[in-house]
Amino acid sequence: MTDTVIVRDTGFAPEDFFDAFDGETALDLASDADVEAVADTFSGLRMIRVDFPSFADGRGFTIARLLRLKGYTGRLRARGHVLADQYAMARRAGFDEVEISADLAARQPEDQWVFRADWQGHDYQSRLRAGV
């Protein structure tokens, strides 16, 4: 098994982004990054990867939302300590995918992530609109 696993709505997927995270085509952002400071660099970026140092640190969700509001349309990946229970929130915040360790993938298997993949249909607003 590789060191990391990519999680998408369809389940676990192999890494398919092989460009270096060098700031020109891809960028790594810390959980305390200033979105305003990187907003001018969006045009050449193919991916932004936002670090989640702890499952209890939700700043990455805010960063994702701000990046999308500022106009970033490229691939957006959450990386680190994201739990299967947080997958729907990550998708609603604007992330396209999540990168987790192989150890976390072993503890939280693919079916737990796929169960939460219908992130658009199971949010509280959809349930309220449906009268549930």
Question: Tokens standing for 6?
Answer: 């990519």
Residue 85 CA to residue 66 CA, distance in Å, equals: 22
CATH number, position 117 = 3.20.20.70
The boundaries of the domain holding residue 50 are 4-130
Nearest to 48 by CA among 14, 57, 5, 39: 39
Q: Determine the pLDDT at residue 125.
A: 63
51: which strand partners?
79
Three-class HEC string of the chain = CCCEEEEECCEEECCCCCCCCCCCCEEEECCCCCHHHHHHHHHHCCEEEEEECCCCCCHHHHHHHHHHHCCCCCEEEEEECCCHHHHHHHHHHCCCEEEEEHHHHHHCCHHHHHHCCCCCCCCHHHHHHHCC
Which residues in the chain come in under a pLDDT of 50?
1
Question: Tokens standing for 46?
Answer: 């193919």
Q: Determine the pLDDT at residue 1.
A: 41
Number of structural domains in the chain: 1
